[in-house]
Amino acid sequence: MAFKVLVVDDSSFYRRRVKDILNEDRSLEVVGEAANGREAVEKVKSLRPDVVTMDVEMPLMDGIEAVKRIMAECPVSIIMFSSLTHEGAKATLDALEAGAVDFLPKRFEDIAKDRSDAATLLRTKVRLLARRAPVASLRPRPTPRPGSLLKKAPPAPAKPARPMPSNAPKSIFVRSSTLLSGSQDAAEPVVVSQVQRSGKRYRCLAIGASTGGPVALQKVLTHLPARFPFPIFLVQHMPGTFTHAFAERLNQHCQIQVKEAEHGEVVQAGCAYLAPGGKQMEVEKRAGHAYIVIKEVNSSDIGYKPSVDITFNSLSQIYGGDTLAVILTGMGADGREGCRTLKSLGAKVWAQDKDSSVVYGMPQAVTVDRLAEVNIDINDIGECIKTEMS
């Protein structure tokens, strides 16, 4: 049975274009269209789609208000189409605040150089989001500061940590046997809600994220105190016109300083450096100080700009095993090889758990390769970082 999609845009030409792309996939079916936000709210109620693609600027009711109404009345996964401008970035972040889970540039040529690649990416995102749990189950808990992306709500009860058997070896997985002859044991991640201070020495925190990352990153960073003792390096898959606005928004609502990383600046403790979109962020050491290095990389061999792997690999040369690496929600496997390098030097690696991930691709990649020590609900990661790195 195909996943149902509702396409929302005030342009009939654009609706037809998106519909044709999605209907090329037999697992997807566009069951309806809407020309404005008001119509979208009603059609979500009547058609019960699995995914909605939503424009931001529309008559009668814009996309942001429509997302708010849909999430309050009939929650569903929503992908926003946005212009790659500073104002478009702000509107997209508002839509994510309202409950949308992902976004794509409205101009397909901004998604990929080849239109067929752009169409494939759109279909892939829609399929992945159609399979996930209802969005309402991921509505965020309150943060230390009011008025942020994350709305106030009564705190959900903490999930108990899954205990390890007393006679179990020091392993990062609970292994479950399979009935298939000759196959390897399936690995189940250890999911915890809290950690005990390990006593390990740290010098930096590194976090990578993609789909669902903007809200996830804010949930983590708003828990960190103003005098956090280490530098923080953030890699979020995001267009270049978005990262500055995103860093500004995070900085407004976090106790730590958050900024878009700049080439040549000296790394400071208590500051979070967000990799600029469309470029690569590395860290180098000169004259006893760590410096941010921003590079323009045009190689087609690098799929992500910024790339978690590239940043994490550079951190391994400066901070080695004195790193806590955290992989949050996202498509693909970016970050796995960087975590492998850090892990080989003695670093700790954590991953967001499946239930709280918008897409469990990146966290799963480090989990199945036995790089992640534990999986943690996004609501608990910030407090776990405070405990481990205090």
Catalytic residues: 210, 237, 334
Do residues 382 and 221 lie in contact, with contact meaning Cβ atoms separated by under 8 Å? yes
CA end-to-end distance (rounded Å), the chain? 50
CA–CA distance, 323 with 336 (Å, rounded to integer): 15
Cβ density class 205-239: b for 16+ within 10 Å, e for less: bbbbbbbbbbbbbbbbbbbbeeebebbbbbbbbbb
CA–CA distance, 24 with 189 (Å, rounded to integer): 36
E strands, 169-211, in order: 173-176, 186-189, 191-192, 204-209
**Torsion sign (Cα): 221, 222, 224, 230:** positive
For 346-365, the DSSP string reads T-EEEEE-TTT-SSBHHHHH
Do residues 344 and 378 lie in contact, with contact meaning Cβ atoms separated by under 8 Å? no
Cis, peptide link before residue 142, omega less than 30° from 0: no
Beta strand pairing call for 289-295 and 280-286: antiparallel
**Residue 348: CB partners within 8 Å, gap ≥ 6?**
198, 200, 323, 324, 325, 373, 388
Neighbours of 63 (CB within 10 A): 29
Q: What angle do CA 216, 221, 222 make, to 5 degrees?
A: 100
Strand partners, 204: 323
**Torsion sign (Cα): 356, 358, 359, 363:** negative
**Residue 114: CB partners within 8 Å, gap ≥ 6?**
none
3-state helix, strand, coil in the chain (%, to 5): 35, 20, 45
CA–CA distance, 354 with 177 (Å, rounded to integer): 20
